[in-house]
């Protein structure tokens, strides 16, 4: 994966309590696999600026 692909790839953000925030772009099958592992995924179109850490 090159730099451009990595920047444009969807991301996962893990929160306390098993909650995962998924950016749009993940397949439904991937979401189902996450649910089977007892996670509680939520979808987000874009990350909020306040949640970005560099």
The parent domain of residue 31 ranges over 3-51
- 20, HSE (Cβ side, Cα atoms, 13 Å): 18
In the chain, which stretches have pLDDT less than 50? none
Q: Which residues pair with 21 in a beta bridge?
A: 13, 42
Specify whether the CB–CB gap between 44 and 51 falls below 8 A.
Answer: no
Total number of domains constituting the chain: 1
Q: Is 12 helix (H, G, I), strand (E, B) or coil?
A: strand
What's the confidence (pLDDT) of residue 6?
84
- Is residue 12 within 8 A of residue 30, CB to CB? The reply is no
DSSP H or E stretch at residue 29: helix 28-36
Tell if the pTM clears 0.75, that is, is over it.
no
């Amino acid at each position: 994966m090159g730099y451009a692909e990595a920047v444009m790839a969807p991301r996962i953000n893990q929160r306390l309590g098993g909650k995962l925030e998924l950016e749009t772009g993940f397949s439904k099958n991937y979401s189902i696999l996450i649910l089977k592992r007892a996670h509680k995924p939520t979808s987000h179109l874009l990350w909020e600026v306040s949640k970005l850490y560099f």
